[in-house]
């Protein structure tokens, strides 16, 4: 799955998401909670209203009964007082106050009896004791009120007989009946209150039962939603976690299989986690596949480069050995030049002796002849020695020149190194591009690619230095060969011909010894000329020695440069070993996966 496929993944319905399922759970529980609160609130309001209504009813009827009873007692007291001491009350002026009092009591008793009747008729059945008692109370109150209305009227006209007849007549009986009925009604009020309490208790019990039922339903819903959420989310999470842990454990046990994918089926947001992990595994699979292929190519390239560097190192070592041999040959030439210089000194001393002989005169002729013979023999020997040395030196120089041509092979080897460096640089560039494509996971490989590129650049620079040094060595050897050929040509054309002249001169001295006296002047001239020639020869030999010394220095420098090249190639080889170690580590890392 690529990024485009991930962006085009199917949108999860809201109710199948974790948020949707949680929201549905919370909404359902909230609805149940609201229903429970509403039911409880309704029940509590009903209980409260019932309790308040009952309390108000009981309080109202009890208040009416208390007013009725109090007023009834006041009327009874006032009636008996008027019946017993009307004159006294009249004399003290209380009749005028009691009449309004009694009228007020009757008025209040009318309202109280009406309230009592209405209340009990409302709260009691038609055949109940309370209703019957109310009827009796109303019947007795009607007669009682009528009687006391007469007492009030009689009091106004001072009709004591009427007052006495009413008070001690039917009013007394009616008063007793009303008191009895009030006691009955008090009991009924108590019963109503008890019934109201019982009703409130019943309603409260039903409310508690409803609350308990709603709590049970609430708990059942919570458990149901927990099970549902576990089956749809928690169980899937555990399955996905188990699959991921199995993949990670296999990688830790070097049994990693990057072809395995998370297969747990889910319709919630967990599908994003599953698809994201599968995408990560697929991406990691591609990266490690490229790393493994890259390590294989890098190993092959490193092996090839190591072989080529080893061959170049061997060739340069051989070249260095050849230059050391050439240096030894130049040392032999220098030694021969020293010997020639010493011999020239001897010749010079001999010519000095000839000059002394000329000065001594004819008496020394035989001595001169003997010295001439000795000069001839020495010259012949020296000629022969010089010829053999020249042949040997010529052979050595030719061999050294041919050996020096091997230096040209260094250019071929350095060209091979440059080609290898170019290929390595191209490989490093490709590795850097692939590492950049890999992103964060390719950073380590990018560092390796950068090191390989740096190694290739160092190889190219070193190869360039080798070519420059090789060119310098070639020019130095060429100059040495030219100088050596000039020296050989000088000896062949000048020194050997001089030795021939020495031999001829000795023979001439031997043949013409009798003419020595005549030839003394000529001998003196010849010895002077010979001294000049010896000086020139000494100068030439010194030049040869100097040239040989310079050539030896150049050859030694070439040998040192060759050793430096060998050291540089050893450094390249060490870097290649480091490269191989990195490659082996990368290869070992990929071996943790059995399938890529």
**Domains in the chain: boundaries:** 14-239, 372-524
Q: Which of 98, 106, 62 is nearest to 77 (CA)?
A: 98
Predicted confidence (pLDDT) per residue in 134-188, tens digit: 999 999 999 999 999 999 999 999 899 999 999 888 888 999 999 999 999 898 8
Residues 6+ apart with CB under 8 A from 496: 383, 386, 387, 390
d(CA 10, CA 8): 6
Among 4-18, 86-100, 279-293, the range scoring the smallest mean pLDDT is 4-18
Per-residue pLDDT, averaged over 119-133, amounts to 83
User: For residues 547 and 96, which has the higher predicted lDDT (pLDDT)?
Assistant: 96
Domain 372-524 in this protein, CATH class: mainly alpha
Q: Which of 137, 148, 158, 192 is nearest to 87 (CA)?
A: 158
Check: CB of residue 161 under 8 Å from CB of residue 151.
no
Check: CB of residue 521 under 8 Å from CB of residue 434.
no
Give the end-to-end CA distance of the chain in Å, rounded to a whole number: 16
Predicted confidence (pLDDT) per residue in 240-264, tens digit: 888 888 888 888 787 778 788 888 8
d(CA 434, CA 411): 34
Percentage of the residues of the chain whose pLDDT score is greater than 70? 71
Which tokens in the block code for residue 388? 């053999």
In the three-class reduction of DSSP (H, G, I as helix; E, B as strand; rest coil), residue 595 is classed as strand
Residue 506 pLDDT greater than 60, yes or no: yes
Most confident of 123-127, 131-135, 225-229, 273-277: 131-135
Which tokens in the block code for residue 416? 């091979």
Residue 231 DSSP code:
I
Residue 266 pLDDT greater than 90, yes or no: no
Which tokens in the block code for residue 221? 């819903």
Per-residue pLDDT, averaged over 494-499, amounts to 66
Residue 205 pLDDT greater than 90, yes or no: no
Torsion of CA 111, 115, 118, 123, to 10 degrees: -170
Residue 8 pLDDT greater than 70, yes or no: no
d(CA 294, CA 430): 10
* pLDDT value, residue 142: 93
d(CA 333, CA 158): 191
Q: Residue 498 — very low, low, confident or very high, per pLDDT cuts 50/70/90? A: low
Which tokens in the block code for residue 533? 């020639």
* pLDDT value, residue 4: 41
Cα-trace Rg, the chain: 73
Give the total residue count for the chain: 596
- Distances in Å between the Cα of 156 and the Cα atoms of 68, 86, 94, 113, 145 are 24, 11, 12, 26, 17
Check: CB of residue 21 under 8 Å from CB of residue 233.
yes
Torsion of CA 421, 426, 432, 437, to 10 degrees: -170
In Å, the largest CA–CA distance within the chain is 235
Residue 494 DSSP code:
I
Q: Residue 1 — very low, low, confident or very high, per pLDDT cuts 50/70/90? A: very low
d(CA 68, CA 178): 10
Own/partner pairs, 314-321, CB within 8 angstroms, 24+ separation? 315/409, 315/410, 315/413, 316/410, 316/413, 316/466, 316/562, 316/565, 316/566, 316/569, 317/562, 317/566, 318/406, 319/406, 319/407, 319/409, 319/410, 319/562, 320/559, 320/562, 320/563, 320/566
Residue 5 pLDDT greater than 60, yes or no: no
Residue 9 DSSP code:
S
Question: Which residue, chain included where needed, has tokens 């990693």?
Answer: 256
Which tokens in the block code for residue 204? 């409260």
* pLDDT value, residue 107: 94
Check: CB of residue 512 under 8 Å from CB of residue 519.
yes
Residue 2 pLDDT greater than 50, yes or no: no
At 47, give phi and psi (nearest 5°).
-60, -45
* pLDDT value, residue 592: 61
Predicted confidence (pLDDT) per residue in 11-63, tens digit: 777 666 766 777 777 788 888 788 878 877 887 787 777 778 777 887 888 89
Predicted confidence (pLDDT) per residue in 393-450, tens digit: 778 767 776 766 666 677 777 777 777 878 887 877 787 787 778 777 777 767 777 7
Residue 578 pLDDT greater than 70, yes or no: yes
Check: CB of residue 320 under 8 Å from CB of residue 549.
no
d(CA 152, CA 257): 120
Strands 593-595 and 256-257: parallel
Predicted confidence (pLDDT) per residue in 362-401, tens digit: 666 677 677 767 777 776 787 777 777 777 777 876 777 6
Query: What b/e readout covers 543-576, taking b as 16+ CB neighbours within 10 angstroms?
Result: ebbebbeebbebbebbbebbebbbebbeebbebb
Output the average pLDDT for the chain. Answer: 77
Q: Residue 70 — very low, low, confident or very high, per pLDDT cuts 50/70/90? A: very high
Q: Residue 579 — very low, low, confident or very high, per pLDDT cuts 50/70/90? A: low
Runs of H (alpha helix) within 158-269: 160-168, 170-229, 235-252
Predicted confidence (pLDDT) per residue in 284-296, tens digit: 778 777 777 777 7
């Amino acid at each position: 799955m690529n990024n485009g496929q991930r962006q085009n993944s199917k949108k999860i319905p809201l109710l199948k998401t974790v948020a949707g399922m949680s929201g549905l759970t919370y909404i359902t529980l909230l609805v149940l909670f609201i229903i429970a609160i509403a039911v409880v609130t309704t029940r509590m309001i009903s209980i409260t209203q019932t309790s308040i209504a009952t309390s108000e009813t009981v309080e109202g009827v009890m208040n009416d009964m208390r007013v009725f009873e109090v007023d009834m007692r006041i009327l009874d007291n006032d009636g008996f007082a008027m019946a017993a001491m009307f004159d006294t009350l009249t004399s003290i002026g209380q009749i005028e106050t009691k009449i309004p009092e009694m009228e007020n009591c009757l008025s209040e008793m009318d309202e109280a009896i009406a309230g009592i009747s209405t209340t009990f008729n409302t709260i009691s059945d038609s055949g109940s004791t309370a209703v019957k008692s109310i009827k009796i109370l109303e019947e007795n109150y009607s007669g009682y009120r009528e009687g006391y209305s007469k007492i009030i009227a009689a009091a106004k006209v001072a009709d004591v007989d009427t007052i006495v007849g009413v008070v001690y007549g039917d009013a007394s009986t009616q008063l007793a009946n009303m008191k009895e009925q009030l006691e009955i009604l008090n009991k009924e009020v108590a019963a109503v209150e008890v019934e109201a309490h019982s009703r409130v208790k019943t309603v409260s019990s039903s409310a508690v039962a409803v609350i308990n039922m709603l709590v049970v339903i609430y708990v059942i819903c919570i458990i149901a939603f927990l099970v549902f959420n576990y089956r749809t989310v928690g169980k899937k999470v555990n399955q996905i976690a188990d699959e991921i842990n199995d993949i990670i454990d296999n990688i830790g046990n070097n049994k990693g299989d990057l072809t395995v994918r998370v297969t747990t089926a889910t319709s919630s947001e967990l599908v994003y986690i599953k698809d994201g992990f599968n995408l990560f595994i697929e991406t990691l699979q591609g990266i490690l596949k490229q790393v493994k292929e890259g390590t294989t190519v890098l190993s092959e390239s490193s092996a090839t480069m190591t072989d080529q560097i080893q061959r170049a190192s061997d060739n340069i070592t051989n070249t260095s050995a050849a230059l050391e041999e050439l240096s030894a040959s130049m040392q032999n030439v220098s030694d021969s030049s020293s010997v020639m210089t010493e011999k020239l000194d001897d010749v010079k001393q001999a010519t000095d002796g000839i000059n002394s002989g000329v000065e001594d005169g004819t008496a020394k002729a035989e001595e001169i002849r003997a010295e001439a013979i000795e000069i001839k023999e020495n010259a012949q020997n020296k000629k022969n020695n010089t010829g053999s040395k020249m042949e040997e030196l010529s052979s050595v120089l030719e061999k050294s020149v041919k050996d020096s041509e091997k230096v040209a092979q260094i250019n071929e080897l350095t060209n091979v190194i440059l080609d290898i460096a170019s290929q390595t640089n191209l490989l490093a560039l490709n590795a850097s591009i692939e590492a950049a494509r890999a992103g964060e996971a390719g950073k380590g490989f990018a560092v390796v690619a950068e090191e390989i590129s740096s190694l290739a650049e160092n190889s190219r620079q070193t190869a360039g230095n080798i070519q420059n040094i090789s060119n310098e060595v070639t020019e130095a050897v060429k100059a040495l060969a030219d100088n050596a050929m000039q020296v050989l040509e000088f000896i062949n054309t000048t020194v050997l011909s001089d030795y021939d002249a020495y031999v001829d001169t000795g023979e001439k001295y031997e043949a013409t010894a009798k003419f020595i006296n005549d030839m003394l002047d000529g001998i003196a001239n010849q010895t002077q000329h010979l001294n000049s020639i010896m000086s020139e020869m000494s100068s030439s030999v010194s030049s040869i020695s100097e040239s040989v010394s310079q050539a030896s220095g150049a050859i030694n420098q070439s040998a040192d440069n060759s050793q430096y090249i060998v050291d540089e190639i050893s450094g390249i080889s060490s870097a290649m070993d480091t490269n191989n170690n990195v490659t082996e580590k990368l290869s070992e890392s990929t071996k943790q996966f059995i399938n890529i």
